[in-house]
């Protein structure tokens, strides 16, 4: 049977586990791994783009100058539109969340761009190491123990639900700020204290830890102006985040924009999640008999 061909271009610690999983299913071309996979590392110009079934980019995709982030390479890698145009019809391009630049760059190609982190299953699986990493940050940076601390969680989606559960299990009092009445009801039914985000200022002075999961600025200068330096803010939301970081920094508030927690606290788990999603997406590709 004809073997699938995949190229992995750059990546971080998560991709080390991902690569080992992919090798079980396909011939894998590595670019940007000359530090640790010297014998298996390919130069970009030696990769047969026309034959690839999948092209895997770093979670962040491409930088604004078309650079591919490669944690394990001494060389800088640039990937312009010409490489994508060489991909055959039906090929798949994988990344975490694609920027407008990546969407624009791949639009004219024959390949399909797939954003792994937009899959519901990936988001749910990633929520667990995200919650564990958030607990780690809280224990390290808070001025008191989590037990009996007051935690305000902003947002109650897939990540928010698991974060609330884990903090409550450690004895924290969890307050959940949301907009929809049904979300307030759900938070209350699960043993937390739900409230509408319009009432957030009423919870400022009595809160030890704020955790934001909403990718929209919720903690503005109005809310931040009521906070003190003993309180901790952990923002889990993707860019631009949910905090007025400039105001918080100027006023000496203690905040952490904790991006990519799964890859930092549990890279093996995160790599397995990514590999599973890629293999699932590629499962429909017909392998021709030789």
How far apart are alpha carbons 168 and 2 in whole angstroms?
51
Q: What is the pTM of this model?
A: 0.84
- In a shared domain, residues 14 and 58: yes
pLDDT, position 217: 96
pLDDT, position 239: 81
pLDDT, tens digit, 9 for 90 and up, residues 41-80: 999 999 999 999 999 999 989 999 999 999 999 999 999 9
- In a shared domain, residues 146 and 226: yes
How far apart are alpha carbons 33 and 20 in whole angstroms?
13
- 287 in a structural domain: no
Three-state SS at 91: coil
- In a shared domain, residues 139 and 90: no
Q: How many CA atoms lie within 13 A of 143 on its CB side?
A: 11
- 289 in a structural domain: no
- 290 in a structural domain: no
- In a shared domain, residues 113 and 204: no
- 133 in a structural domain: yes
- In a shared domain, residues 126 and 255: yes
pLDDT, position 232: 98
pLDDT, position 286: 54
pLDDT of the chain along its 290 residues, tens only? 358 999 999 999 999 999 999 999 999 999 999 999 988 999 999 999 999 999 999 998 999 999 999 999 999 999 999 999 999 999 999 999 899 999 999 999 999 999 999 999 999 999 999 999 999 999 999 989 999 999 999 999 999 999 999 999 999 999 999 999 999 999 999 999 999 999 999 999 999 999 999 999 999 999 999 999 999 999 999 888 999 999 999 999 999 999 889 989 999 999 999 999 999 999 876 544 34
- In a shared domain, residues 137 and 254: yes
- In a shared domain, residues 20 and 75: yes
- In a shared domain, residues 212 and 137: yes
- 288 in a structural domain: no
pLDDT, position 84: 97
In degrees and rounded to multiples of 5, residue 43 shows phi and psi of -75, 145
pLDDT, tens digit, 9 for 90 and up, residues 167-212: 999 999 999 999 999 999 999 999 999 999 999 999 999 999 999 9
How far apart are alpha carbons 93 and 24 in whole angstroms?
19
Is residue 64 within 8 A of residue 43, CB to CB? The reply is no
- In a shared domain, residues 11 and 109: yes
- Cβ-based burial of 67 (10 A; exposed 0-12, middle 13-18, buried ≥19): middle
CATH code for the domain in which residue 250 is found: 3.40.50.720
- In a shared domain, residues 153 and 220: yes
How far apart are alpha carbons 272 and 262 in whole angstroms?
11
Question: Into how many domains does the chain fold?
Answer: 2
Residue of 171, 154, 152 whose CA lies nearest to 218: 154
- 178 in a structural domain: yes
Residue 13 belongs to what domain range?
4-118+267-282
- In a shared domain, residues 84 and 186: no
- In a shared domain, residues 210 and 236: yes
């Amino acid at each position: 049977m004809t073997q699938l061909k995949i190229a992995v271009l750059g990546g971080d610690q998560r991709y080390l586990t991902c690569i080992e999983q992919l090798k079980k299913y396909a011939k894998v071309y590595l670019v940007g791994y000359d530090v640790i996979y010297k014998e298996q590392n390919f130069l970009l110009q030696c990769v047969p783009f026309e034959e690839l079934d999948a092209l895997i980019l770093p979670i962040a995709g491409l930088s604004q100058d078309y650079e591919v982030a490669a944690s394990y390479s001494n060389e800088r890698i640039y990937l312009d539109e010409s490489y994508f145009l060489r991909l055959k019809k039906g090929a798949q391009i994988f990344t975490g969340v694609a920027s407008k630049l990546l969407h624009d760059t791949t639009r004219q190609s024959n390949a399909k761009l797939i954003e792994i982190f937009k899959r519901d299953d990936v988001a749910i699986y990633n929520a667990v190491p995200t919650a564990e990493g958030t607990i780690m940050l809280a224990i390290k940076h808070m001025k008191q123990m989590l037990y009996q601390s007051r935690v305000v969680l902003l947002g109650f989606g897939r990540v928010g639900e698991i974060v609330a559960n884990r903090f409550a299990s450690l004895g924290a009092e969890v307050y959940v700020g949301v907009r929809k009445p049904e979300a307030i009801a759900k938070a209350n039914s699960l043993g937390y204290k739900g409230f509408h985000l319009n009432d957030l200022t009423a919870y400022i002075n009595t809160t030890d830890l704020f955790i934001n999961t909403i990718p929209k600025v919720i903690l503005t200068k109005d809310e931040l102006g009521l906070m003190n330096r003993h309180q901790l803010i952990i923002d889990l939301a993707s860019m631009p985040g949910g905090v007025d970081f400039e105001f918080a920094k100027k006023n000496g508030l203690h905040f952490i924009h904790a991006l990519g927690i799964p890859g930092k606290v549990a890279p093996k788990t995160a790599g397995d999640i990514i590999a599973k999603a890629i293999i699932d997406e590629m499962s429909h590709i017909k392998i021709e008999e030789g």
